[in-house]
Chains A and B, each alone.
Chain A
Amino acid sequence: MTESGQSSDRPVIVLQNLVKFFGRFAALRDITDSFAAGRLYVVVGDNGAGKSTLLRVVAGLMQPSQGSVTLLGSQNVRDVAHRIGYMGHAPLLYDELDGMENLRYFAGLYGLSDDSVCRDAMRQVGLDPELERRVGQYSQGMRQRLSLARAVLHNPELILLDEPFSNVDVHSARDMATVLGRVRDQGKTIFVVTHQAPLMEPVADEFVRMAAGQIVARESMKRSATVIGVATGGAR
């Protein structure tokens, strides 16, 4: 039940007969689908549906058992690594360093040596660049914000986020959702895996439902606005 209405751009992600086994368990079962650029996709589904696995395979952290992933036109994830941002379920930050130190290091991995990029990223997610507190002492909300900053630091075209709102206070979560909407408006493509779909309703373009390792439904927000009962377009 895929929805049409995609932009005429070349698809950002193309999955071809994608399969991923963990021993005898098939986490991803023969997925073939494609996703257009410039949209914010929200991936939902029960635990064990394969959402995180799909994200990790797309990010290049895992190799598919069978099938292929074409990312931004390339079959080799390493080639386009600088155009992808990933935010994992875990914070992916160093507890012993403060915010700016963390971002400076990761910026260096992408070849960015300018401090202002890191400062801007922190401000964008609502954190103070001058804060010298170690990340280990951050609240969960702050940690997730910083993790998001790390993921978008290098201005990637494709951003993958795995449960960015877990254990985060409502205020921070809403802020992050807004930031994501703004980033999407700049033309980036975003994938968010979350159990808290309502949070993303104001900004989502499409909901992708997964079950038992397959994509079972895709609903474009603008079309089914009446069903969900929310105003269309991004609420600010």
Chain B
Amino acid sequence: MSQISVTRATLLKDLRMEWRSKDAINSMLFFSLLVVVIFSFAFNPTAEESRQIAGGLIWVAFLFAAVVALNQTWARELRNQVLDAYRVSPAPPNALFLAKVLGNFLFVVILEALMAPLFVVFYQLRSVGPVWQLVVVALLGTWALVVNGTFFAALSIRTRSREIMLPLILFPISIPALLAMVDSTTTILTGDGTPGFWLKMLVVYDVVFTLVCLLLFETVLNAE
């Protein structure tokens, strides 16, 4: 049972289960829509202003949607204590972690793909800079949120007040990534300069924290 085959098997199992229950998907979709609408009521900018603030708004909205999704991740494994079955098996813990991260990543990217057009409509957004750069920022930034988020969700699920614990420990550590996402999005939308540094920083952030997560996951999984 290689790392890759276990990761793939776990990812497919999670996707299949998600598809069958449709619990998380439906509530997440609706929640994301709500967030976009409420933000539109709260901030009603002109087309010019919207390019300045959209970066921040969009990412805050994505952040909240992602946190709700992340909390569900491990809940499924704790029902029926089925995580014990994994831990007892010879399968490598990091394969489980990667499968969860990939699943979350897919899920949040889909959410973003659905929320983004709504933002464009409500804020009459038109990007001055190239859109493909926005996609790159979105992918790098989402990975940054999801990799740490999946790890911290595994941490916080063992604490009292688990729902509040995840955002509490995730947000401070994610601040540099958030800054990068927001500022680069704004830079691209307004066409004021290039997001080069931010993209490099996001790559560094992603690499560093993916490594740290992989290094520490087994320890955290087996902490009783």
- Nearest Cβ on chain A to B57's Cβ, whole angstroms: 35
**A-chain residues with CB within 8 Å of residue B79 when the two chains form the complex:** 95
> Which residues of chain A from 153 to 177 have a CB within 8 Å of any chain B CB?
none
Are the C-beta atoms of A59 and B80 separated by less than 8 Å? no
B16 interfacial contact with A, CB 8 Å: yes
**B-chain residues with CB within 8 Å of residue A78 when the two chains form the complex:** 90
Are the C-beta atoms of B88 and A93 separated by less than 8 Å? no
Are the C-beta atoms of A81 and B88 separated by less than 8 Å? yes
Are the C-beta atoms of B89 and A92 separated by less than 8 Å? no
- Nearest Cβ on chain B to A168's Cβ, whole angstroms: 16
Are the C-beta atoms of B6 and A108 separated by less than 8 Å? yes
> Which residues of chain A from 32 to 66 have a CB within 8 Å of any chain B CB?
59-63
Are the C-beta atoms of B87 and A108 separated by less than 8 Å? no
Are the C-beta atoms of A94 and B88 separated by less than 8 Å? no
Classify the interface of chain B: helix, strand, loop or mixed: helix
Are the C-beta atoms of B80 and A61 separated by less than 8 Å? no
Closest A residue by C-beta to B86: A109
- Nearest Cβ on chain A to B132's Cβ, whole angstroms: 37
Listed stretches A6-14, A83-91, A125-133, A219-227; interface member: A83-91
Are the C-beta atoms of A59 and B88 separated by less than 8 Å? yes
Beyond A63-B224, A95-B79, whether A105 also contacts B84 by CB under 8 A is: no
Are the C-beta atoms of B1 and A108 separated by less than 8 Å? yes
**B-chain residues with CB within 8 Å of residue A106 when the two chains form the complex:** 85, 89
- Nearest Cβ on chain B to A58's Cβ, whole angstroms: 11
A119 interfacial contact with B, CB 8 Å: no
A96 interfacial contact with B, CB 8 Å: yes
Count of residues in A whose CB is under 8 Å from the partner chain? 29
Are the C-beta atoms of B89 and A105 separated by less than 8 Å? no
Closest A residue by C-beta to B218: A78
Once bound together, how far apart are the Cα atoms of A91 and B82, in whole Å? 7
Are the C-beta atoms of A94 and B84 separated by less than 8 Å? no
Are the C-beta atoms of B6 and A94 separated by less than 8 Å? no
**B-chain residues with CB within 8 Å of residue A134 when the two chains form the complex:** 20
Are the C-beta atoms of B6 and A91 separated by less than 8 Å? no
- Nearest Cβ on chain B to A169's Cβ, whole angstroms: 20
Are the C-beta atoms of B91 and A109 separated by less than 8 Å? yes
Residue interface bits A90-125, CB-to-B below 8 A is 1, else 0: 111111110001000110111100000000000000
**A-chain residues with CB within 8 Å of residue B80 when the two chains form the complex:** 90-95
B81 interfacial contact with A, CB 8 Å: yes
B168 interfacial contact with A, CB 8 Å: no
Are the C-beta atoms of B13 and A105 separated by less than 8 Å? yes
**A-chain residues with CB within 8 Å of residue B1 when the two chains form the complex:** 108-111
Once bound together, how far apart are the Cα atoms of A95 and B16, in whole Å? 12
Once bound together, how far apart are the Cα atoms of A63 and B223, in whole Å? 9
> Which residues of chain B from 63 to 102 have a CB within 8 Å of any chain A CB?
76, 79-82, 84-91
Chain A to chain B: the 10 pairs with minimum beta-carbon distance, closest first: A111-B1, A90-B81, A81-B90, A109-B89, A109-B91, A92-B85, A108-B9, A86-B88, A82-B90, A96-B17
Could you list 17 further interchain pairs (A-B, Cβ under 8 angstroms) beyond the known A89-B81, A94-B17, A108-B6? A61-B88, A78-B90, A81-B88, A81-B89, A84-B88, A90-B81, A91-B81, A93-B80, A94-B76, A97-B17, A106-B85, A108-B1, A109-B6, A109-B9, A110-B1, A110-B89, A111-B90
Interface residues, chain B, with chain A CB atoms under 8 Å away: 1, 5-6, 9-10, 13, 16-17, 20-21, 76, 79-82, 84-91, 222, 224
Identify 14 residue pairs between A and B in the complex whose beta-carbon atoms are under 8 Å apart, listed by A's number: A59-B88, A81-B90, A82-B89, A82-B90, A90-B80, A90-B82, A92-B80, A96-B16, A101-B13, A105-B9, A108-B1, A109-B90, A109-B91, A110-B89
Interface residues, chain A, with chain B CB atoms under 8 Å away: 59-63, 78, 81-82, 84, 86, 88-97, 101, 105-106, 108-111, 134, 150
